[in-house]
Amino acid sequence: MKRKRLLAVLVGGVFCLAVMSLYRMLELMQGAELQQRGETPAGQVDKELSRLQQKIDRLEHLLSDNNRLVATLRDSLLHRKASWETTRGEGGANVSSDSTHGRAHTLPGCRLAEEMKDRADGVQLMDVYHLLPFDNPDGGAWKQGFEISYRGDEWDEQQLEVFLVPHSHNDPGWLKTFDSYYEDQTKHILNNMLLKLTEDSRMKMIWAEISYFSKWWNDCDDQKREMIRRLVGAGQLELVTGGWVMADEANSHYFALLDQLIEGHQWMQRHLGVKPSSGWAVDPFGHSPSMTYLLRGAGLHNMVIQRVHYAVKKHFARQQTLEFLWRQSWDSSPRSDITCHMMPFYSYDVPHTCGPNPAVCCQFDFHRLPGGRVFCPWRKPPQPITEQNVQERALLLLDQYRQKSRLFRSPVLLVPLGDDFRFVESSEWDAQFSNYQKLFDYFKHHPELHIQARFGTLSDYFSALHRRLGAAGTTLPTLRGDFFTYADRDDHYWSGYFTSRPFYKRLDRTLEATLRATEILFSLTLAEMRRFHGDGRLVADFPAREHFQRLTAGRRSLALFQHHDAVTGTARDPVVVDYGTRLFHSILNLRQVLQSSAHWLLLLDKSQYHHDQSKPFLQMDEVISAQDALPQKTPLTLSGEPRSLIIFNPTEQLRSSVISVIVDSPDAHVVDAETGRPMAAQISAVWAEPSRASADIFQLDFVAELPPLSLIVYHVTKASAGSAHRTQYTFHRHGNPPTVQAEHFQVSRPQGPEADARLSLSNKHIQIWSSQETGLLQRLRLQSGLVRQVQVQFLWYGTRAGANRDKSGAYLFLPGEDGAQLYSSSESPLVRVSRGPVFSDITSCFRHFTHRVRLYHLEGHAGRSLEISNMVDIRSEANRELVMRLVSDVASGNRFYTDLNSFQMQQRRTLSKLPLQANFYPMTSASFLQDSASRVSLLSAQSQAVASLSPGELEVVLDRRLQQDDNRGLGQGVTDNKPTASLYQLLLEDRRGGAQEVGAASEHLSLLAHLTSLSLCHPPITLVTPGNGQMPKLRPFLPLRSALPCDVHLLNLRTLEDAQETGSPSQEVGLLLHRKGFDCSSAPEPPLQCTWSAHEEVSLDDLFSPLRFRSVRPSALTLLPQDDEPEQQPPRITRLRPMEISAFRVELD
């Protein structure tokens, strides 16, 4: 050990000496040149200065390289020191990624997983599913429940306390667009709310969607705004959750879920000076603990949920556990607990909220009084409350309240009063308020009934609940798990929307990645500008304010699309187009910010910066022409003059990536512009048709080495004929050899024994074998010797047959009785195998999809996985869903794991007592199968449904085309399909030490899977310079000295709005870091190239060096100033716990 440490110190010393010598050498060279020439004429001064500047640039670049090496050495030394100290003190902690399994579990991320594996406190939802019979007997008045009884004296000691909470659920788009709903309904609801709440202080209301509220606020004059502030301050109006929308919790990525919360909370803070304390999620189709984590981290303490499987509701009601502390599956402490109230009945409308009997409750929805447009389907209409009927009506309502109360542990009762787009007309406000107030007054004047009822908000309810629970010494049970997959009745499982409109689910993630990259680059640009000037000023010509407004619009477009009828794919066709147009325009606007920021950062001479929106200096290498179009690469015209390509790495890791551009020549040469080093490259055909290559354009792929958050410049030139490595092609088609047109490429057809042999590709890390007939994957082999059968299949699901039977639609998946049918085609697919130095792949061209598996010939983690891509087009089909299934020999039993919102992994159990559609779950970005020896992970760039219907199988739904409505209110099928791309990485890993536990409830991705997913979801961004005119000198931008630890993810670096100047960027930035939990049973050989800390404490100053912080304030997740902790002083040691997101408001110096 001592010898190794000594060696590391020695090597570090040598590097320091080399740097100093280099500097001295340049100094002497410059001195010698000046001495030789004596006094240079004035005309030569510029040349000399220019030459000196180039040398300084070169020195700076070499110093930067050496800095990175020295940083790696320093980390290595620190690791060895920590390892040595820990070995002496506590017997073993290993920190570099070549860790042996025996000691790996002492790292924070591993410790966490080990701690949680044996914890069994509280209720596990998986265990509830295991217990329930899912038999659905008729429960009487409460059809999905049971008869509730009470004696009548239960409230003699503690009276029943009822809070009637008026609400109006406003979908930001569903049957109408966001703007149409606002004009037709929402603005009238809010105008009436302002009027009616001001008239009577007893009236109250809650409101959830800040997207609508902020739009209405913009229409209000100063007087109205002051009235709104008064109502909020008095507690009459409560803004609940505070998100931009009431977000979907199945398909949304946690970045977007948090971003829409930040947008809403920041708006509330700025305009109303308040923050929410309670969550309200009554319409999302199932619920995720990732959302509860974000709410708790944003400072909320209570929440209400509604759409939970009816059998689970019934079970919780019997156990009186409808109110519980919801805890994260991975958390052994109560730190993340949030008090959750689950509504017990079918819906959040009035018939299903006052008590178990909807026929009775409907009579107390006074919007349905006779003569109106809305009526009670149970044919017992409400009656206006009069002196003559008040006693009978009050006792009838009291009976429902009492029955509902028996399902809870406290005598405090929450009764929502509302539905979709309620309280549009002032007459509804009057009818509901006046009639209920008469009932409340009757209760008040009859103390023998032991009830107090009044209008209230969620804060009123939860304050009373906690007060009563505390007084009685009652504790709520703890629950872990999630509430997927939702069924509202019978076998109607809402697993269809996990995939519906997959084109837009993919576009959502494109915008998300573009937004995050732009946020980070814009924040770094403003910090660099202030440093450049030295006085905090920005560059005069840089449109910082306009760019910040583009960023804000992008944030809000992404936020709007997280609505539970948007990303879900459950809105009407014109509304989907409206959402798509917003996403599309935001991507274009954010690209302007990205181009402009990169332009300034790259210029060596900053005085040359000029902003011209009509002729940007940098342009994207790909174009999206419309909201429903796939991205297309723009061909680059090459010549002998170098064409500059700028690559932005939006991740916090050093990465080797393959960059792909389209060029007009089959011969091209790529070099690193700074060093002149040639890059490994490959020229491939651009296939106009499966066997006809374009004669005019070609694909150039090269390997780029990208430091974290860097902008690196490459030069592409036209090369001499035949000098570039060209891809070699082999074509297969069973029984019908294709005619191939590809004049610039070597094409062969298999002959003799080769014609019948399985296809095979390999790189340093993996070898794959595929079917010679279909090209579809069959087996994988790792460098370690591990071999696994992994067969790729494609299948169709149909829907139920019969005229009067429910069928699949946008929400529901109701497959036909015959289950999945293997995909078959009348003619054999064309199979195209390509081989080259950068990548090799196998492409299978079927009628409804083109499927490709690709291996990259790369060092590092990028070469360890198999890229799978599909281009799907099922527009010719009716009532069919296309599925890709992986069939492996992993002995996974009935268990598999899916991610929740890309934030955490959740164990799933495939249950035979449930119908097929109930065993499908949402997958935002990852799913895996494992046994004691191996793990197969499928990492995804888009969200969709996933299932494991048999041991060793994993299947994802690629697209669905359905001709009919599924009777959930949408009123149409899903027939607006488009050619849709889906992208995955398939990862096979050894599980060696500590892998005996195959079925723990809390599992994590491996570090390799985390890094692979990061690269998949945040690809490098390519910019190009114009191909003509004089080019200014560009210099790479390298903001970080070294990569962040491989378990720490830079979630965002978000410029905050100026507190004084609306719509302008401030000097403050929201820094969000997520420390990943990771599985330690698989460590790849050779080891990963990144490092991690053995401790939860890290120094922010060291992590982000050489960036400097002027101030750092730890904050809550939505970055509100009132949540700030005291400012941290250098070296700013902060605790990053595994799985936790940490937020800071910082000023970059």
Q: How far apart are the first and last CA of the chain?
A: 40
- Secondary structure (DSSP) of 554-599: HHHHHHHHTBTTTTTS-S-HHHHHHHHHHHHHHHHHHHHHHHHHHH
CA angle in degrees (0–180, nearest 5) for 725-726-727: 125
Helix (H, G, I), strand (E, B) or coil at 512: helix
Give me the helices (H) in 445-568, please: 458-472, 502-533, 544-561
* Two structure tokens written together for 802: 């019969």
Q: Which residues pair with 982 in a beta bridge?
A: 870
φ/ψ of residue 429, rounded to 5: -55, -45
- Burial code of 128-143, b = ≥16 C-beta within 10 A, e = fewer? bbeebebeeeeeebbb
Cis, bond preceding 499 (omega within 30 deg of 0): no
CA angle in degrees (0–180, nearest 5) for 537-543-546: 120
CA angle in degrees (0–180, nearest 5) for 239-242-247: 125
User: In this structure, which amino acid lies at residue 779?
Assistant: R
Residue 954 neighbours by CB distance under 10 Å: 27
CA pair distance 440, 981, nearest whole angstrom: 58
| Parallel, antiparallel or unpaired: strands 302-305 and 338-342 | parallel
Count of all residues that appear for the chain in the document: 1149
How many C-alpha atoms does 830 have within 13 Å on its Cβ side? 18
Give residue 957's Cα distance to chain centre.
19
- Burial code of 534-555, b = ≥16 C-beta within 10 A, e = fewer? eeeebbeebbbebbbbbbbebb
The answer to whether residues 403 and 355 touch, using CB atoms and an 8 Å cutoff, is: yes
CA pair distance 1009, 986, nearest whole angstrom: 9
φ/ψ of residue 896, rounded to 5: -150, 175
Q: Which residues pair with 797 in a beta bridge?
A: 881
Distances (CA, A) of 232 to 236, 246, 340, 933: 6, 20, 23, 58
Instruction: Give the active site residues.
Output: 283
CA pair distance 437, 891, nearest whole angstrom: 63
Q: Please report the beta strands in 1004-1080, taking only residues with DSSP state E, as ranges in sequence order.
A: 1021-1024, 1048-1057, 1065-1075
| Contacts with 1036 (C-beta within 8 Å, 6 or more apart), sequence order | 61, 602, 673, 674, 710, 711, 712, 713
- Secondary structure (DSSP) of 281-298: ESSSSSB-HHHHHHHHHT
The answer to whether residues 426 and 192 touch, using CB atoms and an 8 Å cutoff, is: yes
How many C-alpha atoms does 276 have within 13 Å on its Cβ side? 36
Name the one residue in this structure whose structure tokens are 């050779």.
1086
CA pair distance 401, 391, nearest whole angstrom: 15
Name the one residue in this structure whose structure tokens are 């030295």.
534
Backbone region of residue 371 per phi and psi (left: phi > 0; alpha: psi in -120 to 50; beta: other values): left
| Contacts with 963 (C-beta within 8 Å, 6 or more apart), sequence order | 878, 879, 973, 975
The answer to whether residues 729 and 685 touch, using CB atoms and an 8 Å cutoff, is: yes
Return the DSSP state at 406.
T
- By CB neighbour count within 10 A (0-12 exposed, 13-18 middle, 19+ buried), where does 1 fall? exposed
Name the one residue in this structure whose structure tokens are 């076998």.
491
